[in-house]
Structure 1
């Protein structure tokens, strides 16, 4: 049986407008489609964990509105444990306004709503859940004080703490030293280290800085270039760059969330870090070929089929080049 994962994070109602190109200041543009759907980095990652086979729980808050309650119901139907999701009086569920252009790129604005009302006291009320799980997965769409409270409980009870430092912002070394595992993208890695990450060499330099801050394991997601993996325990502190899957992106909105959920599931199943990152890479690659946030997150069987197909294509190409 795989280990248990607790996702502490945001729940948002996503308003998604597809456009040919992003508007310039003062410009009004017409979109090709508009949808309202479930989102939030925390909820997206919880759904990814559950769909990919993880034993998943979520600790979060929603507002006093039907849309928030519908999202909690959807999470439950996905197999996510929702007993630690609270409804906050006098506020609404978080909202994200998302533009997606013809290249699959996105621009996002967030109104935190109930996400910003999550409290240290509520974390304390659910400390038994934090103690019971094997992995605590965090992002940065809830108050830092809430993350810190959960980290403190986790560190005292040998729960591994994984931080997806998104949305990206500078973090003090005192905070980073409490993290076991971090999963920045290139932009977030630059914010944390001051190193512009573009290739293997720059990723290695950035990784060394994060290791020096006390973080044992890390991956840096690098889009179509793949993912850089580094660990102080497994014999490759210099890092390994795992190639990305060649896909044509339609919408990258939940790619990072899918990656993080898949990574945690693979680690919870006991896979080595490199294998876990490969599985997460495939999951994220599949997600960008679909539209939406949670609607783009694949199921386990789809990822396994995608990986098998990619391997078969690689074998065919290899035989053509060697014959």
Structure 2
């Protein structure tokens, strides 16, 4: 549950089987009674004001992303977003949504950790969706963000928190507070977006997915609707090597492809008698293969488009 904190929050905890892994949670997030399973968000100045500020922050970023896609790119083509939008905006939807994506080539984040705000893949992706998606916080995504990049000082911490980013410690495993918080949001029926590779991938091919996605799907009370995404061209907007690290490059070709929902109900039913580790591996493998198939589909679309030019 997201709530306003009325007590002095705890921000550091140890967890794991041997309790040797220590995570310090940045404000405004905090740990309830030093419990890593209960990471909460201290909505400063009250829930209503925080929610309004969060909505304004998210929508402002989306509007800027839309302006960039419409006026600062050579082309911005989005495929198959309608099924995802219908699912997201369905007033009768009871299941949470879990999206994951892969870029075609290098990840669009600078290697320099002192410029965390120069990451453009996340806002530009959601700038491709219609504004009707952003009428409510319920249809705005939560996402996991590297704590050592996005939460390095109070100003950035509050900005990214208002933007519904959850501080994640790379290498802290699938039971860290951030993963528990993401699981809570799914259990609330919300939309969570994750990066299944769990790191900056600077290759043109898929690498092994982390097991965190398997854990989220296994432990939700109501199995999420899983939608994979693929994009190409965003890596050219903020490449690592350019003259000015603050200015994005314009005139690029952007392609975004939404995959079809992945149904895991039958698989989870088959794995009821299987141990937890094996189940996580099988689920993660299914998502990996779906992403690989989506990449092949994107390549096929590119070939067809090239023939019509």
Q: Same fold (TM over 0.5)?
A: no
TM-score (norm 2): 0.32
Higher RCO (C-alpha under 8 Å, 6+ residues apart): 2
TM-score computed with the length of structure 1 as normaliser: 0.31
